[in-house]
Structure formats: structure tokens, C-alpha cells
């Protein structure tokens, strides 16, 4: 019945969309309305399409006899006073599906998980909450155990899936949190932080659609590979209007492809760069050491340092940004030159005094403003600067660098010095943004234009409202219906004009991506521990409301500029006004693997508790020692066997950065479909990737290569190793030629023939130790 209705709604929406697209009318208001309507219907259609798989996945039988179905969207029976047929998972009425327990049943007698394949029901799992005390079901933390385990044990595909059918109570608390400000979600690996962050975005879009549709939601991830990996989750929940981005993509017009050392990136992430950028701007507002000579109209004009200093002080005292203050500087200098020129050109050598009148003086001023020599001097003393020019010049000059950042050591400045050509790195982007904030643009003309357009829009909106009010009062007379509400009752002309402000076809996400100064309604940051202080500054500018959800794990910080303390990151922006939520159950990594990773975690500062695994796999992680010369070849052979073991699943070989090429080449020789590199194709059966790029990803089987080298490669090597060890959903092996870090000494030796204990022992059982 529900699918029948879904088909009906889709056909109707498609028809409406087609009708809108067929409409003619070329005047701007018709085009704007057509665009708005077609976007609305297209969004609606994609929501309906997304509900196809698993439309209805739950049923609640309540103690009072009511039966409630839970699914991907809400459906109502128009013929029966809008009786709910299906409750959207985000609606309050669906909440007991995720949080009811035997101890707190929330009026639920039975919870049913309905598993479907296409439109066919393939299984139901019931939990009787009022009987839970007797049969042991549902009383100890995990909700919908059978369905959950089926999801956790499924082969990985290279794309993250939504978890809407099996959200757990602690996750639900985060997803539906009513906290308005900064919400930090700290949780160990596999606790569902990414999943929760994405479902929270979907939840907020549902509960605050009007506001968020206007301002948009921004989701920040650590790299484009990760964003690709998670990119299907929101569309599968019917939500598409979200901007997924890395920090390196947040400066419109710049693609940050240049690479640099981790040490250089760390320096650029420090808060002291604010002072460096400000000093670099000040250094470009110059006063010459000697008087300058300018040839003008057969005369030589002199510009002395005092005049320049006075002009600079006056321009600076305006408090305007560099480019906006420039006209003040220019006016001062040109006035001084005009005065000199008038004195020279108009001097009455016989009678004394000056032969030039006010009009002549104005003419000379105009000529000076257009004179090439004068312009060159002004550009030297107070140039128009773009962020790219400012930082391009700065990083290409040892002198400019040492003047702008004298507190850096010579070695540190040497790390920043580079060729001008070659583009930008991700760590440059927050600096470019900082520079843009200090430079500003001389936008007087643009503002005049915008004001004119605003007035036109307002007049148009008032016209529309007058027409609507007229026709509504007509209706009123015809039908004598006091309930009629006119458009003007609901919105005034200014609000109406704002709605029509953007007449282009661009979506909110596209407009936001193209506008550096766009401020978002909500910002979600995944792997938030990796962001530098400068990146936080940029993000806070994009979210003045501080409506943010930050998810991460300070034990997994790999970036040298990242953090080990949420308080330290947030203090400058919100003081202690942020809320911390913790996630404690690991849904990815089986208990056997987590106990290996926990030994690595134990050596970290500050000490953190490892999350409890939701299940055990029955597969013991192993190690395999080999000689250095045989490492790559041995790995290739083991990888090929793992591929056969995981069947349709995915295998990852995670290596220290220095071994990527060698190991990658050997693995590709053995498994030609393998994808190798920092940004591999995750849909391939095997990927070989450096440890720094493994963050946030997961695979059925993981081979960790040379853990001792991972520890040594970076000052955050322990965190990197912890990340590598916690990427597997089923199987973990460690292959090494170097010595093994002592934390991993307890691993069993891999046997000569690969055993398949999972099959012997049964796959993916619930971890009975949980809680
Ligand atoms: N409630 C759930 N139901 C089904 N699967 C879940 C649930 N919670 C998490 N998972 C699965 O567990 C895996 C790990 O989740 P996720 O990647 O969101 O964890 P994470 O905390 O971000 O991990 P990391 O910090 O290691 O990146 C994913 O496959 C996710 O789909």
C-alpha cells in the first residue's frame, strides 16, 4: 500500500515538474518563479526516489493498541483526516523506535525491524519490550540486534551506507540534540561519528528546513577521497542541498593541489599567522627612504617621505581595510602633487601669485590621477592587493617573510619560502581567507549597483503583493469567507523581495560554494581533531551563529596542526559554552582487533578509554615477519589471498608514506585491479594507501605494513598507527620487516596456510562482554 502511494506521489510530482518546465514567460519574475518551483519539485522528487529502498523499516506496537510504522518519509491518508500511514524517522513519533528499552519502554510493547530487498519483505525481527526481562532481549544497550548485526557484517562497498534503520540510543541523542550552539561529539574509532554527523544534518534539514534551505549546511571532511566515500549517505536519506567540502576548497577560485611538508603546513596552521598576514599587509603600505621624483608635464615633482608618511597615517586612521583605505591615501598624495604642480606651472614670474584658477587646478589633479608615472608610484607605495598577490609575494621573498614574521626561526621561515608559481596548498587557504578579511575590496561601485537592484526588487515585490491583496479581497467579496489570508498578511514586501533576491538557477550549496563570505545555517565538521587553529578561524567566520556539530576523536589526530583538546580549540570562540557528547560503542572493529588497538591507545596522552566493540568476529588478528628485501613481494602474495577471503568485500593495504610506491607496485603486479595512491578508488577490491589517508575509511580486511615505521614517520605516529589498526570490519594482519612495536608483540604468528576461522566459528557474533 505504501509503495503504491509512493508511486502515485512520484507520478504526480513528475507531472508538476514537467508542467513547470513547459511554462513560457521570459520576464524576470516569471523566470524566478519557474526556477523556484522547478527546484522545489525536483527536490521533492529526489526525496521520493531516495525512499525506494527500505521505505518502511520499522513498526511500533504501543501498549494502548496503536500501531505505528516508521520509514524514510512521512505519509498521510488524505481521505481519513490525514491519519499517519508512515512516520518519518526524524519525527518525534518515531523516536521510541530508536530509544525504547525494556527498562524505559516509552509506551512500546513490541518493536519490529522490517528487512526488505527491493519491495519484498525478507525478514522481521521483533523485540518484545514488556517481555524483555524474561528472554533477555533488548535490555542491555543494543537496539534491534539481529538487524544491526546484519548491517555490521555486510560486505563493504567503497561507499558509506546510511544507518537509519538501526540508529542506537546514544547516537539518537546526538542526532536529535536540541543544543543550539557548538555540540562536540567525541568517540573512539567506529562509534558512528561520521554516520551520526550525516544523520544529524538530515535531521536538522527536516526540523528547520525553511531556515537551513536559505543558509545551507556545510559539512567539512579531511580530504576529497573521504568526502566521496560519504557522499551517498545524505542523498540516500533524500537530502541533497548540502555542501560537502574540505578546508582546502573553501576559497572560491582556488583548487589547493600544491603539496608541502607536514612541518610547513603546521606552521601555517598556527594562530600567530594572523599577525604575520596583518604585518604583511602593513609592510605593503610603504614610505620611501628618499624623496621620489616624478616627471609631469615638463616639470619634475618631488614626493618626500614626510608627505607619504602623513598620507599613510591618515589612510590608516580611517580604520578601513587596505584596499578600501587606498582612495584616502591616493587623494592625499595627489593633493600634494597638485599643489606642487600648480605652483610650478602657474607661477606668475613677473607679477608674483598664480595664474591658474580653480578649474585649471581640478584639471591638473585629474591629469595627475591618470598619469602613468604617478600611478606607478602609488602602486609602489600602497598597491591594490588581492589575497593571492599578497601571499604569493610574501612566500616568494625571504625579506618580506622575515619582516612579517620575525618571531619564526630561520629554519621555520625557510620552510615557508617557495617559488611563486605552483599554486596553493590546503594550509594556504585559511591564510588567503585571513588576507581577504584584511584587504577587503574597494566595492563602492558594486554597492551602489546592489542598492539600486534592491530598490527595484522591493518595488516589484510591493507590486506583486498589491495585486495579490487585490485579488484576495475580490475572493473575499465573492465567497464571503473571513478565513481568507492574503499574502500580505504572511509576508511583507521586504521579506518577499529577499525571497526573490537570487534569480539564478544556482542551488544554495552552489551559491555558497562560490561566495567566500557566505555564512551557513549549520556547520558540521568531521574528523574535527585535524583542523588547525587557522582553519577554525575561517570556519567560525562562516558560521557566526555558532550552530555547529563537531565530531572527532582526539586520539586519532594525525595532522601536526591538529588538536588533542577540544577546550583549547573552542575556547577563543565560545568559551566554555559548548556541549560534549560521547559515543562509547564501536560498531566497526570487532573485539579481537580492538584489543590490539587498545594497547596502542594505552600509550597516549591524555589517556582515553577504548570504545567497547559491538561484536566479535571470531577471527584473531595476526602478524607476519619477513626480510626487508621480501616485504613487497610477500605483501603482494598475502593481499591476493585476502582478496579471495573477503569475496565481494574490500581489502586495504595501509602503509607508511615512504613505502607507498614500492608496495603499491608489487600489489598491482599481483592484483591488477588494485588502486594505489593517496586518493585511491575505494570501489576497487584492493587499495594501497598511505596511513594519513586512511582516516575515516573502513574495509573488510586490512593489512598494516611496517607499524614501527609508522610510529617513527611522524610525531603523531602513534595516532596514525591507531587509525590504521581500527579500519577493519572483519580481518586484520600486520606485515613487517622491521621490528614490531612492543604493543603489538602479543599478535599471533600467521600460519603458513591462511586459515579461515570465521567460517569455522561463525561470523560476526554479538559481543556478549558489551556493558
Ligand atoms: N547504528 C548503527 N547501525 C549500523 N551501522 C552502524 C551504526 N553505527 C555505526 N555503524 C557503522 O559503523 C561503521 C563506523 O561508523 P563511522 O565511520 O561513522 O564511525 P566513526 O566514529 O566516524 O569512525 P572513525 O573515527 O574511525 O572514522 C560504519 O560502517 C557505520 O555504518
The residue whose C-alpha atom lies closest to atom 14 belonging to ligand 1 is: 190
Confidence at 758, pLDDT banded by 50, 70, 90: very low
Residue 5 burial by Cβ neighbours in a 10 Å radius (0-12, 13-18, 19+): middle
667 alpha carbon, distance to own chain's centre: 33
Is the pLDDT assigned to residue 475 strictly greater than 80?
A: no
Residue 569's SS3 state is: helix
Q: Please give the distance, rounded to the nearest whole angstrom, from the Cα atom of residue 339 to the centre of ligand 1.
A: 73
The residue whose C-alpha atom lies closest to atom 25 belonging to ligand 1 is: 189
298 assigned binding-site residue: no
Q: In the predicted model, what is the mean pLDDT of residues 336-340?
A: 93
Beta strands in 149-291 (DSSP E): 182-187, 217-220, 242-245
Is the pLDDT assigned to residue 590 strictly greater than 50?
A: yes
**How many Cα atoms occupy the beta-carbon half-sphere of 313 within 13 Å?**
6
Ligand 1 atom, smallest distance to 553 CA: 25
Is the pLDDT assigned to residue 65 strictly greater than 80?
A: yes
Task: Tell me the percentage of the chain whose pLDDT exceeds 70.
Answer: 88
Cell numbers standing for residue 354: 598664480
Poorest-confidence range of 156-160, 314-318, 331-335, 363-367?
156-160
Q: Please give the distance, rounded to the nearest whole angstrom, from the Cα atom of residue 698 to the centre of ligand 1.
A: 9
Q: In the predicted model, what is the mean pLDDT of residues 47-56?
A: 93
Q: In the predicted model, what is the mean pLDDT of residues 443-455?
A: 67
Residue 589 burial by Cβ neighbours in a 10 Å radius (0-12, 13-18, 19+): buried
Residue 716's SS3 state is: coil
Looking at this predicted complex, what is its ipTM?
Answer: 0.99
The residue whose C-alpha atom lies closest to atom 15 belonging to ligand 1 is: 192
Whether residue 87 contacts residue 103, with contact meaning beta carbons closer than 8 Å, is answered with no
Whether residue 230 contacts residue 524, with contact meaning beta carbons closer than 8 Å, is answered with no
Ligand 1 atom, smallest distance to 167 CA: 1
How confident is the model at residue 518, as a pLDDT? 92
Whether residue 29 contacts residue 503, with contact meaning beta carbons closer than 8 Å, is answered with no
Whether residue 338 contacts residue 361, with contact meaning beta carbons closer than 8 Å, is answered with yes
Nearest-angstrom CA–CA distance, 133 and 506: 55
Is the pLDDT assigned to residue 138 strictly greater than 60?
A: no
Residue 392's SS3 state is: helix
The residue whose C-alpha atom lies closest to atom 23 belonging to ligand 1 is: 190
194 assigned binding-site residue: yes
Ligand 1 binding pocket mutation candidate from 167, 169, 184, 194 (most atoms within 8 A of CB): 194
Q: Which of 75-79, 212-216, 381-385 has the highest mean pLDDT?
A: 381-385
Q: At what angle do helices 273-283 and 533-541 cross, to 10 degrees?
A: 70
Poorest-confidence range of 24-38, 75-89, 515-529?
24-38
193 assigned binding-site residue: yes
Ligand 1 binding pocket mutation candidate from 192, 530, 600, 652 (most atoms within 8 A of CB): 192
How confident is the model at residue 481, as a pLDDT? 40
Ligand 1 atom, smallest distance to 695 CA: 27
How confident is the model at residue 460, as a pLDDT? 66
246 assigned binding-site residue: no
Q: Which residues contact 605 (CB under 8 A, 6 or more apart)?
A: 564
Nearest-angstrom CA–CA distance, 140 and 585: 12
Whether residue 415 contacts residue 270, with contact meaning beta carbons closer than 8 Å, is answered with no
Ligand 1 atom, smallest distance to 189 CA: 26
Q: What is the pLDDT of residues 736-747, one digit of tens each?
A: 999 899 999 889
Is the pLDDT assigned to residue 284 strictly greater than 90?
A: yes
Q: What is the pLDDT of residues 144-202, one digit of tens each?
A: 788 888 888 888 888 999 999 999 999 999 999 999 899 999 999 999 999 999 999 99
Whether residue 312 contacts residue 282, with contact meaning beta carbons closer than 8 Å, is answered with no
120 assigned binding-site residue: no
Q: Please give the distance, rounded to the nearest whole angstrom, from the Cα atom of residue 692 to the centre of ligand 1.
A: 19
Q: In the predicted model, what is the mean pLDDT of residues 46-71?
A: 94
- Other CB atoms within a 10 A radius of the CB of residue 624 amount to 17
How confident is the model at residue 488, as a pLDDT? 46
How confident is the model at residue 496, as a pLDDT? 52
Q: Which of 79-88, 348-357, 500-509 has the highest mean pLDDT?
A: 79-88
Q: In the predicted model, what is the mean pLDDT of residues 264-274?
A: 97
Q: Please give the distance, rounded to the nearest whole angstrom, from the Cα atom of residue 566 to the centre of ligand 1.
A: 21
Ligand 1 atom, smallest distance to 161 CA: 31
Q: Please give the distance, rounded to the nearest whole angstrom, from the Cα atom of residue 152 to the centre of ligand 1.
A: 9
Q: Is the peptide bond before 219 cis (omega within 30 degrees of 0)?
A: no
How confident is the model at residue 584, as a pLDDT? 92
How confident is the model at residue 51, as a pLDDT? 93
Instruction: Provide the b/e sequence for 528-555 (b: ≥16 CB within 10 Å).
Output: bbbbbbbbbbbbbbbbeeebbbbbbbbb
Poorest-confidence range of 31-35, 385-389, 418-422, 565-569?
31-35
How confident is the model at residue 728, as a pLDDT? 96
Ligand 1 binding pocket mutation candidate from 141, 163, 223, 234 (most atoms within 8 A of CB): 163
192 assigned binding-site residue: yes
Q: Please give the distance, rounded to the nearest whole angstrom, from the Cα atom of residue 308 to the centre of ligand 1.
A: 62
Instruction: Provide the b/e sequence for 157-188 (b: ≥16 CB within 10 Å).
Output: ebebebbbbbbbebbbbbbbbeeeebbbbbbb
Residue 331's SS3 state is: helix
Ligand 1: list residues with CB < 6 Å.
148, 151-152, 161, 163, 166-168, 171, 187, 189-195, 553, 556, 587-588, 696, 698, 726
How confident is the model at residue 477, as a pLDDT? 41
Q: Please give the distance, rounded to the nearest whole angstrom, from the Cα atom of residue 475 to the centre of ligand 1.
A: 56
Ligand 1 atom, smallest distance to 726 CA: 26
Average pLDDT, the chain: 87
The residue whose C-alpha atom lies closest to atom 13 belonging to ligand 1 is: 588
Q: Please give the distance, rounded to the nearest whole angstrom, from the Cα atom of residue 197 to the centre of ligand 1.
A: 10
Helix, strand, coil abundance in the chain, percent, nearest 5? 50, 15, 35
338 assigned binding-site residue: no
How confident is the model at residue 756, as a pLDDT? 34
How confident is the model at residue 433, as a pLDDT? 96
Ligand 1 atom, smallest distance to 556 CA: 25
656 assigned binding-site residue: no
Q: Which residues contact 80 (CB under 8 A, 6 or more apart)?
A: none
Q: Please give the distance, rounded to the nearest whole angstrom, from the Cα atom of residue 164 to the centre of ligand 1.
A: 12
Is the pLDDT assigned to residue 70 strictly greater than 60?
A: yes
How confident is the model at residue 747, as a pLDDT? 92
Whether residue 692 contacts residue 722, with contact meaning beta carbons closer than 8 Å, is answered with no
Cell numbers standing for residue 583: 559515543
Is the pLDDT assigned to residue 753 strictly greater than 60?
A: no
How confident is the model at residue 552, as a pLDDT? 92
How confident is the model at residue 258, as a pLDDT? 95
How confident is the model at residue 759, as a pLDDT? 36
Poorest-confidence range of 133-147, 480-494, 509-523, 708-722?
480-494
Q: Please give the distance, rounded to the nearest whole angstrom, from the Cα atom of residue 527 to the centre of ligand 1.
A: 13
Q: Please give the distance, rounded to the nearest whole angstrom, from the Cα atom of residue 161 to the centre of ligand 1.
A: 9
How confident is the model at residue 483, as a pLDDT? 40
Amino acid at each position: 500500500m505504501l509503495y503504491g502511494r509512493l508511486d502515485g506521489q512520484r507520478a504526480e510530482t513528475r507531472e508538476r515538474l514537467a508542467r513547470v518546465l513547459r511554462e513560457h514567460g521570459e520576464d524576470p519574475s516569471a523566470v524566478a518563479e519557474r526556477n523556484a518551483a522547478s527546484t522545489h519539485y525536483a527536490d521533492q522528487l529526489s526525496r521520493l526516489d531516495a525512499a525506494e529502498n527500505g521505505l518502511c523499516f520499522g513498526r511500533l506496537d504501543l501498549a494502548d493498541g496503536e500501531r505505528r510504522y516508521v520509514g524514510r518519509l512521512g505519509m498521510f491518508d488524505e481521505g481519513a483526516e490525514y491519519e499517519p500511514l508512515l512516520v518519518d524517522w526524524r519525527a518525534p513519533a518515531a523516536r521510541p523506535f530508536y530509544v525504547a528499552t525494556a527498562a524505559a519502554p516509552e509506551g512500546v510493547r513490541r518493536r519490529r525491524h522490517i528487512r526488505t530487498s527491493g519491495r519484498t519483505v525478507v525478514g522481521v525481527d521483533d523485540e518484545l519490550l514488556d517481555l524483555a526481562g524474561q528472554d533477555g532481549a533488548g535490555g542491555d544497550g543494543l537496539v534491534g540486534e539481529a538487524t544491526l548485526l546484519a548491517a555490521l557484517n555486510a560486505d563493504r562497498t567503497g561507499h558509506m551506507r546510511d544507518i537509519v534503520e538501526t540508529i542506537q540510543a546514544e547516537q539518537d541523542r546526538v542526532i536529535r540534540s536540541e543544543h543550539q550552539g557548538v555540540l562536540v561529539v567525541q568517540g573512539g574509532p567506529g562509534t558512528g561519528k561520521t554516520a551520526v554527523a550525516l544523520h544529524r544534518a538530515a535531521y536538522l534539514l527536516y526540523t528547520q528546513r525553511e531556515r537551513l534551505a536559505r543558509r545551507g549546511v556545510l559539512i567539512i571532511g579531511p580530504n576529497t577521497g573521504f568526502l566521496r566515500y560519504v557522499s551517498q549517505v545524505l542523498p540516500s536519506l533524500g537530502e541533497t542541498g548540502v555542501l560537502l567540502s574540505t578546508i582546502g576548497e573553501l576559497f572560491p577560485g582556488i583548487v589547493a593541489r600544491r603539496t608541502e611538508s607536514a612541518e610547513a603546513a603546521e606552521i601555517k596552521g598556527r594562530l600567530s599567522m594572523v599577525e604575520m598576514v596583518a604585518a604583511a599587509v602593513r609592510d605593503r603600505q610603504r614610505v620611501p627612504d628618499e624623496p621620489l621624483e616624478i616627471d609631469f608635464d615638463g616639470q619634475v615633482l618631488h614626493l618626500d617621505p614626510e608627505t607619504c608618511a602623513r598620507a599613510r597615517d591618515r589612510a590608516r586612521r580611517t580604520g578601513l581595510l587596505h584596499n578600501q583605505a587606498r582612495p584616502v591615501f591616493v587623494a592625499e598624495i595627489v593633493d600634494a602633487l597638485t599643489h606642487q604642480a600648480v605652483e610650478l606651472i602657474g607661477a606668475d614670474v613677473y607679477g608674483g601669485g598664480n595664474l591658474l584658477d580653480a578649474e585649471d587646478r581640478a584639471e591638473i589633479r585629474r591629469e595627475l590621477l591618470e598619469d602613468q608615472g604617478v600611478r606607478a608610484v602609488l602602486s609602489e607605495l600602497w598597491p591594490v592587493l588581492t589575497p593571492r598577490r599578497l601571499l604569493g609575494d610574501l612566500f616568494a621573498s625571504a625579506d618580506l617573510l622575515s619582516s612579517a614574521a620575525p618571531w619564526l626561526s630561520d629554519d621555520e621561515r625557510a620552510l615557508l619560502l617557495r617559488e611563486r608559481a605552483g599554486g596553493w596548498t590546503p594550509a594556504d587557504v585559511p591564510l588567503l581567507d585571513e588576507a581577504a578579511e584584511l584587504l577587503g575590496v574597494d566595492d563602492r561601485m558594486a554597492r551602489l549597483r546592489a542598492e539600486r537592484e534592491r530598490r527595484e526588487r522591493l518595488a516589484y515585490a510591493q507590486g506583486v503583493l498589491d495585486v495579490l491583496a487585490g485579488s484576495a479581497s475580490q475572493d473575499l467579496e465573492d465567497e464571503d469567507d473571513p478565513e481568507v489570508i492574503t499574502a500580505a498578511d504572511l509576508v511583507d514586501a521586504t521579506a518577499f523581495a529577499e525571497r526573490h533576491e537570487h534569480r539564478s538557477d544556482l542551488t544554495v550549496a552552489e551559491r555558497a560554494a562560490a561566495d567566500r563570505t557566505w555564512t551557513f545555517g549549520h556547520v558540521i565538521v568531521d574528523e574535527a581533531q585535524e583542523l588547525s587553529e587557522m582553519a577554525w578561524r575561517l570556519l567560525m567566520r562562516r558560521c557566526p551563529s555558532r550552530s555547529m556539530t563537531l565530531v572527532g576523536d582526539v586520539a586519532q589526530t594525525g595532522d601536526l596542526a591538529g588538536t588533542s583538546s577540544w577546550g583549547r580549540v573552542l575556547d577563543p570562540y565560545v568559551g566554555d559554552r559548548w556541549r560534549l557528547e560521547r559515543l562509547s560503542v564501536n560498531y566497526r572493529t570487532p573485539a579481537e582487533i580492538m584489543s590490539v588497538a587498545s594497547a596502542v591507545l594505552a600509550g597516549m596522552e591524555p589517556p582515553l578509554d577504548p570504545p567497547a566493540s559491538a561484536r566479535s568476529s571470531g577471527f584473531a588478528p595476526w602478524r607476519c615477519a619477513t626480510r626487508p628485501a621480501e616485504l613487497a613481494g610477500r605483501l603482494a602474495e598475502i593481499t591476493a589471498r585476502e582478496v579471495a577471503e573477503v569475496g565481494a568485500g574490500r581489502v586495504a593495504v595501509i602503509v607508511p608514506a615512504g613505502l607507498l610506491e614500492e608496495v603499491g607496485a608489487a600489489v598491482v603486479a599481483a592484483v591488477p585491479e588494485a588502486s594505489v595512491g593517496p586518493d585511491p578508488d575505494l570501489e576497487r577490491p584492493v587499495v594501497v594507501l598511505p596511513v594519513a589517508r586512511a582516516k575515516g575509511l573502513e574495509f573488510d580486511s586490512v593489512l598494516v605494513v611496517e607499524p614501527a615505521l609508522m610510529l617513527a614517520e611522524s610525531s603523531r605516529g602513534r595516532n596514525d598507527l591507531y587509525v590504521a589498526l581500527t579500519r577493519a570490519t572483519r580481518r586484520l594482519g600486520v606485515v613487517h620487516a622491521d621490528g614490531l612495536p612492543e604493543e603489538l608483540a602479543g599478535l599471533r604468528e600467521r600460519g603458513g596456510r591462511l586459515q579461515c576461522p570465521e567460517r569455522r566459528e561463525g561470523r560476526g557474533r554479538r559481543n556478549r562482554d558489551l556493558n
